Structure 1
Amino acid sequence: MDTAGRRFSGEGVIRATANMRDRGNGLGGGYAVYGLYPEYADQYAFHVMYLSPQGRRDTEAFIKENFSLVAEEEVPTQAVPQITDPPVVRRYFLDINPGKLGELAEDDYIVDRVMTINTKLGDSFVFSSGKDMAVFKGVGYPKDIADYFCLEQYKGYLWTAHGRFPTNSPG
């Protein structure tokens, strides 16, 4: 973390998680990066996984109905042999239309819309929904997830990572 807000590569964090591979079980890994999208620092950045074209159509219609869409794009990925059958992952940079808030605070509005997508719309899952930050996660070891999402190309002022590890090991 750079407390002055200077952005840096996550290579050190990625390397550290690679060193911990033997401690994990390969069933989940991920990273959160703050200061990732300075050009969209005032917008909410939604990262959404899609399992079907219909899930994407339904979710994008919902997003356009509930937000002002500033920008959208596919999250860059690369083939990694250890990551099998990955979902399509897209990111959306969103503003809240003031008329949509009603009595809700912005944070409550975001939580409500994310929960609607995740529980009522099929084949889609919002796994990151903050401002100037993002989560990158999946099934695999953290290093494999970093490689899959091309995380060496990103910079942020705070990086954190996790790897799933067995909690029922004897000893």
Structure 2
Amino acid sequence: MCGIIGFMSRTKRMISGEKIAIALDSLKERGNGQGSGYVGYGIYPKYADKYAIHVFLDNTRDYDKIREKVQDTLQLYGYVLKDEEIPTEEGIINKDYISWRFFYEFDEKYRNSEEDKMVDIVMDINDKIDGAFVFSSGKNLGVFKAAAWPNEVAEYFKIDKYKGYMWLSHARYPTNTRGWWGGAHPFNLLNWSVVHNGEITSYGTNKRYVESFGYKCKLLTDTEVVAYLFDLLVRKHKVPVEYAVSALAPRFWDEIDNLPEEERKIHEAIRITYGSAMMNGPFGIIVGTHEGMVFMNGDVEQGNAMLGLTDRIKLRPLIAAEKDDLVFVSSEEAAIRKICPELDRVWMPDAGRMVIARIEK
């Protein structure tokens, strides 16, 4: 189950969030109303070079005291330029959590390591401040999610008021974990955002692996670990994204054996080095990616990109399409055609192979 759809303008054309809300609502039968969410890239141009930190505050308790603890943590390392409750439409959904945002910059002494420090801050808040969960922590992007239907979440957070050049979205059908606000997708860390259809059956192994590097999985669902794996391999270890995907959804050994010698040695090394990062189970995943991402040919991505990938035998569907400067990835073609009826190209990516849309240089 679960419905996923994302699209990106390769020319950074700004598009209303209304489009992604319409598309996701057409996939609502893939969910059960226990979780939906959106992430938009480019939505905070006024604070484009600042961190936009979205935090859930438990509304059944004194959330002002919880917010003060979050702010005190942030002020240990930098400055809160502005904070406010994220604007919402009252009466749409049961308000279990207050959604708060902080626009934030680091003190000068942390500038050279600010991404590592932001990861530390997110992990500390999620682990140590009871009643607070950071669910968005990148620059010039924002995640909006709740335990509700797609149209309800879109109306509640006024998604149509935001404009972005890339949008990802998810309608959740919880299976092994309960439906709650923090368990809704997208999952985000820095500029990485992940929506996922399926199940990560290797979650225990993957969780122990990322936690050995300081990440802390506190949001009670398997998809959280996917965002941390991308951050670890691509940002921290500087693994080219094509090889990072090969680590997460690796080729079978018989395929590797038949590769040219140089390529074979690389994929063998990846499987041996990152065996605990390999994700088992059925999955279709869309990822919004980080600036500075490295590619096999040595290119360094200066703008965000969008990835789509499946497990290596494609037990969950994934469709890709193009129209002019737009690239779409979704669990169903119907959702794409709902907002873009006439397409230039539609294709089904092969199992375990990546689709990537990059900003035009």
TM-score, normalised with respect to structure 1: 0.89
| Equivalent position of 1:63 in the other structure | 74
Query: Measured at CA, do residues 11 and 85 of structure 1 come closer, stay the same or move farther in structure 2, by a change above 3 Å?
Result: closer
Q: Is 1:138 aligned to residue 146 of structure 2?
A: yes
Greater Cα radius of gyration, structure 1 or 2: 2
Report 1:1-171 matches (<5 A). 1-51=8-58, 52-81=63-92, 83-100=93-110, 105-165=113-173
Which consecutive segments of 4 or more residues in structure 1 shift more than 3 A? none
Q: Share of identical aligned residues, percent?
A: 39
Q: Give the Cα separation in 2 of the matches to 1:100 and 1:23.
A: 43
Q: Which runs of 5+ in 1 are unaligned?
A: none
Cα deviation code 1:29-83 (max 9, x no counterpart): 10010001111110010011111222112111112222211222220001244x2
Is the partner of 1:143 in helix, strand or coil? Answer: helix
Q: Give the Cα separation in 2 of the matches to 1:166 and 1:128.
A: 21
Cα deviation code 1:5-26 (max 9, x no counterpart): 1211021211111112222111
Is the partner of 1:95 in helix, strand or coil? Answer: strand
Q: Which moved more, 1:123-132 or 1:86-95?
A: 86-95
Aligned residues of 2:34 and 2:174 also touching (Cα < 8 A): no
RMSD of Structure 2 on Structure 1 (CA) = 1.7
Is the partner of 1:27 in helix, strand or coil? Answer: coil
Aligned residues of 1:33 and 1:133 also touching (Cα < 8 A): yes
Is the partner of 1:160 in helix, strand or coil? Answer: strand
Q: Give the Cα separation in 1 of the matches to 2:96 and 2:18.
A: 23
Cα deviation code 1:129-165 (max 9, x no counterpart): 0000010111111221111101111101111100112
Q: CA deviation at 1:128?
A: 0.1
| Equivalent position of 2:199 in the other structure | none
Aligned residues of 1:80 and 1:147 also touching (Cα < 8 A): no
Q: Letter of the 1:90 partner, please give it.
A: W
Count of residue correspondences: 165
Is the partner of 1:125 in helix, strand or coil? Answer: strand
Is the partner of 1:26 in helix, strand or coil? Answer: coil
Q: CA deviation at 1:166?
A: 5.4
Q: Letter of the 2:95 partner, please give it.
A: D
Q: Which moved more, 1:134-143 or 1:72-81?
A: 72-81
Q: CA deviation at 1:90?
A: 1.4
Aligned residues of 1:36 and 1:134 also touching (Cα < 8 A): yes
Q: CA deviation at 1:98?
A: 2.4
Is the partner of 1:5 in helix, strand or coil? Answer: coil
Q: CA deviation at 1:108?
A: 1.1
Is the partner of 1:130 in helix, strand or coil? Answer: coil
Q: Which runs of 5+ in 2 are unaligned?
A: 1-7, 177-361
